[in-house]
Structure 1
């Protein structure tokens, strides 16, 4: 992206933020809605710390790191790349046809469509959860471990973006496929906060190799807490989770370009 393109993105982003803040009450309610939407994670963390000493062979403080990584990765995804989540609606409204005639990449226009106010609430909850997880952790947070944690969060963000990008590509051909994004979000929210070794092996395998949810937070947390050899996959694969997130995101960008070239319009 050229310097001129960066300036345009920055100016449009500022305009979107100003537009979102035009109605202050609605702006604050959207932030609150983003935080309230994650209340189940807060309840899970509270019950875990108050009632249980651990889960699946993990200490409770180690388990807490899983939802902390997932929530922070999810909040960043919603803030930076989350507009793909609503691509089905933009396709049905014919906005993609409009984007195609503008002198800016369609993917960029999709991401600049509006400012996701609810992401502020998501990130507020995620930051609080991460702070709590780190304060209760008994790990020695060396430079290497901190660097891996940052890489894990960014890799998780990119992997989640890649998963929703696949749905977006399907929606370019079949607009009704947008329903899959809700199903995907439910799966991420339901299974993303637990050690997958507490689930049946068939389910754990599906969430590892079919829908690679395990690479978002479970495997990185396992590597950080010393459980990397008990995840059921080779240690190097679990440790490579951040890199796999980057590769998956780059692959889905290529898939997006291919899908866009074959886009036939909202009416097919």
Structure 2
């Protein structure tokens, strides 16, 4: 029990150190940092402008109102922002594997997957996280319960984003260069998570709740953030996030047994 507690404290200390150093590295070029994060906020705001124009003409569409769509974007942008800020290598597993760049992580006395993911920070993702906060202030429920549901939605979204990309990136252990596939699947999960779930019917709806589990992110404004929580959806979303995390971790380490060293001297990337 004591050994497990020490190991957990050591892992948390390691994570905090990684995040601190990543942020310090990003802030070394402060103007570039502010511009990249700020441009992501501007980029997301363009989509919000178009959605606002749409709902000026149609106030409610399939039960979705403008605040619902704003919170959809808040959860999607915030979930991705948290995942990519804290674990910025989640989109680069395929590249690291195909180019033999995992060697440096294998010789370090830390969990390989955690070490890989936390060794990099996405600066633009900080802009996504900030954009989420702005939308919540403008459109969210300001109560303590509303904030708690908002925070829970972010945890679920971040876990799904993170481990979906771990699974896709780990395909490189089996099929070789999977960078193109990783990029396509990343675009798919981001795109599906930023549109109201109810526009998808039939097999499309099945796909976004299974193959590309973006539906568990995009349905949050209806299933969790409203006054009446849909408990079947919430339990399904929690189950999906736990399941994809467990499978993603297993899948990465199963693939790691097939990994061939790049025989190259490299630094953490």
TM-score, normalization by structure 2 = 0.82
5 Å-filtered alignment, 1:1-268, equals 1-134=7-140, 143=145, 146-219=147-220, 221-225=222-226, 236-237=232-233, 239-265=235-261
User: Any conservation in 2 of the 1:219–1:228 contact (CA below 8 Å)?
Assistant: no
Q: Secondary structure at the match of 2:119?
A: coil
1:37 Cα deviation (Å)?
4.2
User: Any conservation in 2 of the 1:165–1:252 contact (CA below 8 Å)?
Assistant: yes
Q: Secondary structure at the match of 1:2?
A: helix
User: Any conservation in 1 of the 2:224–2:234 contact (CA below 8 Å)?
Assistant: yes
Distance 1:208 1:5 in 2: 32
Distance 1:5 1:225 in 2: 36
RMSD: 2.8
Distance 1:188 1:74 in 2: 10
Task: Extract unaligned runs of 5+ from structure 2.
Answer: 1-6, 264-269
User: Any conservation in 2 of the 1:156–1:242 contact (CA below 8 Å)?
Assistant: no
User: How many residues align structurally?
Assistant: 257
1:236 Cα deviation (Å)?
1.5
Distance 1:117 1:191 in 2: 23
Q: Secondary structure at the match of 1:99?
A: helix
Q: Secondary structure at the match of 2:140?
A: helix
User: Any conservation in 1 of the 2:209–2:215 contact (CA below 8 Å)?
Assistant: yes
Task: Extract unaligned runs of 5+ from structure 1.
Answer: 230-234
Distance 1:60 1:18 in 2: 38
